[in-house]
Amino acid sequence: MRIAFITARIPFPPNAGGRIRTFHLLKEISRIQSVTLLTAVEEQENEGALAALQGSIPRMRVRAVKVPPRNRPLRRLVRALRSPIDPLPYTWAWYRHRRFLTHVRLSLHQGEFGIIHCEHTQVAHTLLGLRTPPRVLNAQNVESLLIRRMAEQESRGWRRALIAWQARKTLRAELQTFLSFDRCVAVSEIDRAIIELIAPGRPVSIVPNGVDADWFKPSCEPSNPYMMVVTGAMDWFPNIDGITFFVREVLPRIRQRVPLAELWVVGRNPSESLMGRLGGNGVRFTGTVDDVHPYLAWARLVVVPLRIGGGTRLKILEAWAMGKAVVSTSIGAEGLPAVDGVNIVLANTPEAMAEHAVAMLEDQKAGERLGVEGRRTVENHFAWERVADALLQAYEETLTGAGHGAGERGWETRAHI
């Protein structure tokens, strides 16, 4: 099977949720299939990451094109001004560039691929309007759901209305996108049900997230009895919202009863503004780290205070794999086989989250029991080899059952590139 695997940017280093998933899927399926990655690089440092990616997955072919950084002020302004008439939602338009579109289409024309894998809805526009081999869309999140939840948490009326408008626009775009693929891939039963509701009749396979259970494993070193950890990219709004909620509303309640309790925020690119607002008083920001493993090993408790989200959380799988107690919101654990009081503790109010966090900090044995069950959950369901098998099965089902109409549907975006 010759697979064209399309990503917006190179999935390296694998230090954030989407990159981790994409990197490990590529690594596993490249062991037994012929895979060509079609992607883009933005800056000089990404070229080094591209070489490192090729070294990590030597069997995979990589075809990359260089594009301007998407966060340049002028490009952001143009996207904002164009948004009211743009067929693409604002966040999807971040990844649209004529050079990238031409690169993908030329590569598909020149290659003899048996199946096309599009990683994330945000880059699906590169295929819309084209006649192609059977194609699969990997929806890491249902974006319209995530954006709608952002609107629900926004206190300012004008911003809430603006975000809600983008949620509706994204929902319409998702409908057209899902119907333009032969099969969609979801990370959980919840996401599959939502996709089937948006696009009835479109086949949807579940390919869950995974974790490297050989690397993320319980440590023999003693944990710090006062250390809580939250992991995740600190330049992603749902994580910023979650950590702000926890530091302002939960942590003070914890420190009233456990004065030495500390929260370590481990994740890339926290802004100076965020660190200035939330740092101190028991809160430490690490910034970008090469490996979250040591911080998880030292922690007594992992907290997942997400109020906005979609898909499933790799941060919980990593914590489970290391045998750590986890306290999470229901949204944070959504889509995972989380059983409250067995492999996780769920809490949705500041009072309940603080109460459970204090209990885990004060009762090491209770935390260890949760951790043992979390590790068992990972071993039974979330090894990357098993996840990759599910993806390959989705490919096989697409090849045996796909019609030819899906590869020609979709709205035309060339006039807006």
pLDDT reported for residue 312: 66
- Within 10 Å of residue 48's Cβ, how many Cβ atoms? 12
**What's the whole-number mean pLDDT along residues 23-36?**
97
pLDDT band at 195 (very low <50, low <70, confident <90, very high): very high
Considering only 53-57, 75-79, 178-182, 370-374, which range has the smallest mean pLDDT? 75-79
Burial label for 40, CB within 10 Å (0-12, 13-18, 19+), is: buried
CA distances for 42 relative to 10, 63, 75, 89, 99, angstroms: 9, 14, 13, 21, 12
pLDDT band at 417 (very low <50, low <70, confident <90, very high): very low
Q: Do domains 2-210+384-410 and 227-381 have the same CATH topology?
A: yes
DSSP character at residue 224 = P
Q: For the segment 262-275, what is each residue's pLDDT rounded down to a tens digit?
A: 999 999 899 999 99
What are the residues whose beta carbons fall under 8 Å from the beta carbon of 48, sequence distance 6 or more?
A: none
**What's the whole-number mean pLDDT along residues 33-53?**
89
Q: For the segment 124-134, what is each residue's pLDDT rounded down to a tens digit?
A: 999 988 888 99
Q: Are 87 and 414 in contact (CB under 8 A)?
A: no
SS3 101: helix
Percent of the chain surpassing pLDDT 90: 76
**What's the whole-number mean pLDDT along residues 21-38?**
97
pLDDT band at 408 (very low <50, low <70, confident <90, very high): very low
Q: For the segment 141-169, what is each residue's pLDDT rounded down to a tens digit?
A: 899 999 999 999 888 999 999 999 999 99
CA distance linking residue 262 with residue 255, whole number of Å: 8
| HSE (side-chain half, CA atoms, 13 Å) at 376 | 11
For residues 65-82, one letter each, b for 16 or more C-beta atoms within 10 angstroms of the residue's C-beta and e for the rest, the string is bebeebeeeeeeeebeee
pLDDT reported for residue 77: 81
Range 2-210+384-410 classified under CATH 3.30.1330.20: no
Question: Is the backbone of residue 295 left (phi > 0), alpha (psi -120 to 50) or beta?
Answer: alpha
DSSP character at residue 50 = H
Query: At residue 411, does pLDDT exceed 50?
Result: no
Residue found under tokens 């603006």: 162
Query: At residue 407, does pLDDT exceed 60?
Result: no
SS3 197: helix
CA distance linking residue 88 with residue 80, whole number of Å: 12
Amino acid, single-letter form, for residue 312: T
Q: Which residue, 167, 193, 149, 142, is CA-closest to 310?
A: 142
Estimate the crossing angle of helix 143-153 against helix 237-245, to 10 degrees.
40
CA distances for 143 relative to 91, 164, 191, 195, angstroms: 10, 12, 10, 11
CA distance linking residue 269 with residue 246, whole number of Å: 19
For residues 279-289, one letter each, b for 16 or more C-beta atoms within 10 angstroms of the residue's C-beta and e for the rest, the string is eeebbebbeee
pLDDT reported for residue 74: 79
Distance of CA 37 to the CA centre of its chain: 19
Helix, strand, coil distribution of the chain in percent, nearest 5: 50, 15, 35
Q: For the segment 277-320, what is each residue's pLDDT rounded down to a tens digit?
A: 999 999 999 998 988 999 999 999 999 999 997 666 899 999 99
Q: Which residue has the higher pLDDT, 3 or 92?
A: 3
pLDDT reported for residue 56: 96
Q: Are 230 and 246 in contact (CB under 8 A)?
A: yes
| HSE (side-chain half, CA atoms, 13 Å) at 217 | 7
Give domain limits for the chain.
2-210+384-410, 227-381
Q: Which residue, 242, 215, 212, 216, is CA-closest to 327?
A: 242
Question: Is the backbone of residue 149 left (phi > 0), alpha (psi -120 to 50) or beta?
Answer: alpha
**What's the whole-number mean pLDDT along residues 94-104?**
91
pLDDT reported for residue 119: 94
Q: For the segment 206-263, what is each residue's pLDDT rounded down to a tens digit?
A: 999 999 999 999 998 899 999 999 999 898 889 999 999 999 999 999 999 999 999 9
pLDDT reported for residue 406: 52
Q: Are 128 and 408 in contact (CB under 8 A)?
A: no
Q: Which CATH number fits domain 227-381: 3.40.140.10, 3.40.50.2000, 3.40.50.720, 3.40.50.1370?
A: 3.40.50.2000
Q: What is the dihedral of CA 37, 137, 19, 41, to 10 degrees?
A: 40
The predicted model scores a pTM of: 0.87
pLDDT reported for residue 354: 98
Query: At residue 412, does pLDDT exceed 50?
Result: no
Average pLDDT of the chain to the nearest whole number: 91
Q: For the segment 229-239, what is each residue's pLDDT rounded down to a tens digit?
A: 999 989 888 99
Q: For the segment 339-359, what is each residue's pLDDT rounded down to a tens digit?
A: 999 999 999 999 999 999 999
Q: Are 304 and 318 in contact (CB under 8 A)?
A: no
CA distance linking residue 218 with residue 319, whole number of Å: 9
